[in-house]
Structures are given as structure tokens and as C-alpha cells.
A = this chain, B = another copy of it.
Amino acid sequence: MAKTYRVTFEPEGKTMFVLDGTTVIEAAGRAEIILNLPCGGKGTCGKCKVEIPVGCPSHTEKELEHLTEDEVHRHTHLACQTHIHGDMTVAIPSETRFFEQKILVEGAGRKVAPEPSVRKTFVKVKEPSLKDQSADMDRVLASIRDIAPDVRVDIDAIRTVPDRLRGGKFAITAVLDEDELLSIEEGDTTAHNYGVAFDIGTTTVVGMLVDMTSGQVVATASRTNPQVVYGDDVISRISYAMENKNGLAELQEQVVAAINEMIAEACREVHVDRRYVYEVFVVGNTTMHHLLLGIHPKNIAQAPYVAAVRKSVEVKAADLGIHINESGRLHAMPNIAGFVGGDTVGVILAAGMMHSSELKLAIDIGTNGELALGTKERMICCSTAAGPAFEGARIKFGMRAADGAIEKVVIHDDVEVNVIGRARPRGLCGTALIDAVAELLRLGIIDPTGKVLPPEEANGNVPDAVRERIVPGGMGHDFVLVHGGETPSGQPILLTQRDVREVQLAKGAIFAGIQILKQELGVKDEDITEVLLAGAFGNFIRRNMAKRIGLLPDIPTDRIKFIGNAAGAGSRMALVAKGCRREAERISAETEYIELGGRPDFQNEFMMAMMYPERLNHA
């Protein structure tokens, strides 16, 4: 096994074991600590500063350009420029974190000031007497007439107004959401105005509790989408809803329960009373969106793959069983199509693609790969059925990125692997799958057609230790990543010929999707200013490896950027700024959806894209 080092991240106290030479930013990502990285890891923006109190290496020239003398003394480094060659402790300041960063209320390059929909105002209300018997709500409305001359009133605000007025001795805070009076609160509560932005993924649900006045995230929570017990992908969820009488209601209850737990957890963490949470904003793919709102997604699963609703939806949170303020609202990001949902709208919004004259390509790889390409002039998108290969399914030793998963493969004299959680290796996750195929392509062990060559046909430069790992298998030859003696089961971990074919299908679908989008816009690789990798998987991909296997276009690596949980960032932006909601509506309405299914030109591109590239121009 290759040399690994222990890295501890503070203040979380999370410890990772990483291969020699891994960058700090990559290690942090593996520890699920996402850092701000506007320049894409080139070391030019100086935004990814961390402190390394234990095991601090020397500073590079590039780092010193961005550090003050004081910072150098405090062992500050740029996480993207620091390679790990020994055990270390890394402290990550909050300003470097993606979740607590301004990028979440900023699109790429543009500021978005907090402009919450919900506003609060403290007023003293005239007390009733026999000479002034007007109704409680009338006197509240009179007291806010200057700032809200004509408001509708929520029924729960009416139900609670008598006690709140008297409880507050007629000094109350009115909570307004646009032209609606949501709630009356006793005394001055104007300092307490919260919302929660959710990214509801098929696998993971992420929630961010936001102080609506500052626009800052004050707590986060995440957990596995409890619907996974009904199946890994959206199709299996839809099938469950179709085949079981109360299937839709069950799936809805599951995700609502998770949302409630996460809101409670985040509120508890920072001592926020849940009744001061007035808005929930959710993004998700169209199926997750429909399931949460109790809309049957069955027509998404069958041609012509039609969603029930595209536009944004607003409902009373309590009507879905979500526990926030009794009058609080839930807003759902608008969708684009049955297989391009509000999560993609969130990515386009967060990346500011609809504000840019520069051509950008956003890629969100999961079971499906959602792609968006365009400028503010025209934006198009598509969804490709990438299959679950990168999530570990259909791969002989495939597994999710959990303890015991190989997450990185490097081949020099022999194979070196890094395993998550300092466990002995049990399988490999998506990034290692890409690494392994890329390295074997580089070494000439896999040929451009995807065939694993027998030992005698492999390139003459291949070291013997590596060549000996090529063994006969069911479909030809397989490659031994880890020998049997190093695994808990005693069985070797293989990359099989069949696995290589699965990767071909998956990367071929995504690459062909990119080709179709480019053709549709009449652009070439060199016209693409930035490739934006969104989502959890995208942020762990090693860009050169992804290009090597032909998953990503062959454009300079520094133009390929990680934008983290951009769907979640879009959710948060839309939560805190009304302008972003309007922009999201525009993205949803104006982004053209390109259906790849049944297109002859897509089939052709797909056949070609399944080949592995012979070599790259921009390695």
C-alpha cells in the first residue's frame, strides 16, 4: 500500500487519511468540508486560506503572493496549493467555507444583497376602549398602514391576534410576506427572522438555516434522503409511488420528516425558536419536487416525460406538515422539464450563467447528468441517463463514497490507492473508478475501444508489478486494484472488463449530451470559457482524470471549476433575495430543454463518445 498521512480538520475534529501529495483542498472535500474556490484551484484568487498549526509545510512562492507577514507567521496556507507530505492539523476559518461564504448570496462575479420576502416591523397598537371598539386586526392594520397599505391577512394571524396583542400589551411585531400579513408577535421580535434553504437530492438532503437580515447561514444540517429505502434513483421512487396505494403519501411523509428533523436540529444548534422561521425554500430534481409537494410524478417516468408543473409553487408549510411558524410558507424552485428540475435552475442561478456574456457549461453528475450550456442570450439544457456507475451501482466492486471505499487510484511503479476512513479497502467509489480507467488508458492497458488488453499486448513501458495485475476474467481481462491479501474478505478488488464498459456508457452519455448542446448552439470546445462542476460527485472528480477518460471535454484544466453544492447555493440565494426568485422564474421559463431521447444525432454522438480518447490536447 502507498504511503498515507493523517489530516485532522478543525474545528470539526474530522480526521482523514490521504495519499502522499494530495492537496489540502481535496482532503477537505473528502471530509465533506467544502471550501470557497472561485479561481478553480489555480492559486490566483487567494480565497482558500487555511491555517496549519501542526505539520505546517513551507510556503510556495505563489502562496506568498497572497499572504501577509502576519498570516505567514500564523501558518496560513492556500488549501489549493498545499500538498500533503506528512500528518497535519488544518484549521478552516469560517470565511473560507463555502457554506458560510458570500458566494452563496452571490452569483459568479455579481453581488446579491439580502432582499428577504419576509419583513418585520415593531409597532405600538392603539388599545381598544368603549370609545374605540374596532376589531383587533383592524387596529393592527391601521398601525402598519404606512408601510403596508393594502395587505391580505393569513387566517392563522387572525386566530392568534387577540392573544398576541394582549400578551404584548399592544406592543407587537407584524410579520409581512409581500402583500400578506403572516403573523403578529408579542413585543419586539424584529431581530429574529429566519429561513431555511433546502437542497433535496435523490440521495442527500442538505438544509441551511439562514438569518434573513444578514443573508448569512447560521447552521446547517444534512442527512440521507430517507426515501432511499424505496430505491436509489428517481425511477424506483416513481415506481414505488405508482405500485403502492399510499406510495406517494409515504414518500412525501418520509422527506417531510427529514425536513422537520433538520430544521429542528439546525434551530437547536444556534438556539433559534422555530416559530421565527417564516420561509422554507426547496430545490430538487423534478421528481423530488413532486414527491415533496404531493404531486404524483408518474408521467415523468414515461415518454414524453412530462412534469405536472414547471412554475414555482408556494404553499403553506403547515399544509405539508412542515413545522415552522404557523403561517410560514414553503417555496419550491421552478422546474425546467421532467428530467431537469429546480436543482439545475439553482445551479444556473448560483453560477450567474444567465447574467454572463461568457459561454459556460454546467455539469451536475448523478444518476442522471444534467447539463446546461449558454450565455445570457440563450441557455439550453439536457439530461442524460448516465446510469448509476459513478455512484457505484453496476460496478463489480462499486460502492458509495463511504468508509472502506477506494477514492483515489495512482499508478507509478505499482498501484497506489487511498481508502476513506482508514479502513481496509472493500470496494471503489466513482472517483477511483475514473482514476483507474484513466491510469490504465494512460499506460496502454485499456485501448481506445475500451478493451482491457491481455498482459502480453499491453504497452512495453508498463512496470511488471502492474502488468501482473492483468488477469483473465469473465468478459476478457480484468485488472487487480488491490490484492486479496490486503482486503478484509481476502478477495482481490478488481476493475473488470464489464466495469470498463459501464464507464464507457456513462461517460459516453454525458459527453454526447455535451456535444449535442454545443451543436445546438453552434459552438466548439474552445468557445467554452468555463466548465462548472456542480454537486457532491463533481467536486471530488480529478479533472485531468475525467478529461482522460473523455467524461469532460478536452479544454484547459484551469477552465474546469468546482462550484460545490451550487443547487443548494441557488436555493439559499432565492431564499434571501426576491430578485433571485424572479431570476429563477426567468431561468425556468427561458432555458430551452433539449430532449435527447430518440434523436438520431444523439445516438450517433453517443456511439462515438463511447470510444476513449487516444490522447488529449490539454492534458
Residues of A within 8 A of B (CB): 128-138, 153, 155, 158-159, 161-163, 166, 293-296, 298-299, 303-311, 313, 315, 319, 335, 337-338, 593, 595, 597-598
Contact = CB atoms under 8 A, between A and B. Distances in A.
Contact of A137 (B163, B308, B337): B308
A161 B315 CA distance: 17
Nearest to A294: B159
Contact of A129 (B128, B304, B309, B337): B304
B310 A130 contact: no
9 contacts: A128-B306, A131-B595, A135-B308, A136-B306, A137-B311, A155-B294, A158-B308, A161-B309, A162-B299
A575 to B, nearest CB: 20
Given A162-B296, A162-B308, A304-B129, A135 B313 contact: no
Given A159-B295, A162-B299, A298-B162, A310 B133 contact: no
Given A162-B296, A295-B159, A311 B138 contact: yes
B128 A158 contact: no
The 9 A-B residue pairs with the shortest CB-CB distance in the complex, in nearest-first order: A135-B310, A135-B307, A137-B309, A128-B306, A158-B309, A128-B304, A130-B304, A136-B308, A162-B308
Nearest to A318: B319
Contact of A306 (B133, B310, B319): B133
Contacts of A309: 135-138, 153, 158, 161
Given A130-B303, A132-B304, 14 more contacts: A129-B304, A130-B304, A131-B595, A133-B306, A135-B308, A135-B338, A137-B311, A138-B311, A153-B309, A158-B293, A158-B295, A159-B294, A159-B295, A319-B319
Nearest to A599: B130
A24 to B, nearest CB: 44
A429 to B, nearest CB: 33
Nearest to A293: B155
A134 B336 CA distance: 8
Contact of A595 (B130, B293, B305): B130
Contacts of A135: 306-310, 335, 337-338
Nearest to A593: B133
Given A298-B162, A299-B162, A130 B308 contact: no
Nearest to A133: B304
B304 A158 contact: no
A305 B136 contact: no
Contacts of A315: 155
A162 B307 CA distance: 8
A456 to B, nearest CB: 48
B313 A155 contact: yes
Nearest to A159: B295
Nearest to A315: B155
A296 B293 CA distance: 31
A315 B157 CA distance: 12
A606 to B, nearest CB: 17
